[in-house]
Amino acid sequence: MRRVAILAVLLSAVPLLARAEVAPRSAGQLAGYSDLIVTGEVVDLTVTSERSRIESGFGNYDWIVALKIWVDGVEKGDGPEGQFLTAYCFRVKSRKSLLEFLSPSGHHPIPGAGAKVRAYLAQADSRWHVVLPNGLQSVDENTELADAPEVEALSCGFTYLLPLGAWILIAILGLLIFATVRLVRFVRKRRRAS
């Protein structure tokens, strides 16, 4: 019976694990997910914070990295060749629980100004979003992109310093200790009275 219970717990965790990090995609897979593929140079990036679109619960935030790209070529779709385009990436800023960290952690890598990239983009909410997780590739196949210093400096953590589940556990343990102390005092008081 005990083995059946352990197996049931493990099997119930499978859907959660299936949602975990998105594996890097091949160029063909990235193209399949893309509405637009452009080549160009990253000329600027800005980092802001906003509520997470992946884990939409209260307290879940992401770092939004907006890359300003000068487009010098369009490989798929109707793109702004010879113009600037803003492509949006993200990294996790905060999650309120451990389970919410099982969702994708963002784009890897997110290069800085001067990087020559091929950007695989999908349109949503009238914005161009980089396809997860590796939708930015170097135009030169012999060069590997690296995170911009601004992106490397980003931190992520829990909304409440600890996962929400840990705070609940701390509260329960605190209540149990409080109740035990009160019970011991009550028993001692009754013994002294008798």
Domain that holds residue 178: 162-194
- How far is the C-alpha of 51 from the C-alpha of 90, rounded, in Å? 11
User: CA nearest 61: which of 75, 79, 73, 48?
Assistant: 48
Q: What is the pLDDT of residue 2?
A: 59
- How far is the C-alpha of 121 from the C-alpha of 95, rounded, in Å? 26
Blockwise average pLDDT, block size 10, the chain, 194 residues: 50 44 90 96 96 85 96 93 95 85 88 96 94 94 91 81 74 92 91 85
Q: Which residues contact 74 (CB under 8 A, 6 or more apart)?
A: 36, 37, 38, 39, 81
- How far is the C-alpha of 194 from the C-alpha of 189, rounded, in Å? 9
Q: State how many domains the chain has.
A: 2
Q: What is the pLDDT of residue 142?
A: 87
One domain, residues 94 and 185: no
One domain, residues 142 and 49: yes
One domain, residues 149 and 173: no
One domain, residues 51 and 145: yes
Q: Give the pairing type, strands 127-130 and 116-124.
A: antiparallel
Q: What is the pLDDT of residue 181?
A: 93
Q: What is the pLDDT of residue 57?
A: 79
One domain, residues 18 and 32: yes
Q: What is the pLDDT of residue 79?
A: 83
One domain, residues 102 and 7: yes
32: burial class by Cβ within 10 Å (0-12, 13-18, 19+)? exposed
CATH, residue 109: 2.40.50.120
One domain, residues 67 and 140: yes
One domain, residues 86 and 174: no
Q: What is the pLDDT of residue 164?
A: 67
The three-class DSSP label of residue 52 is: coil
Q: What is the pLDDT of residue 84?
A: 97
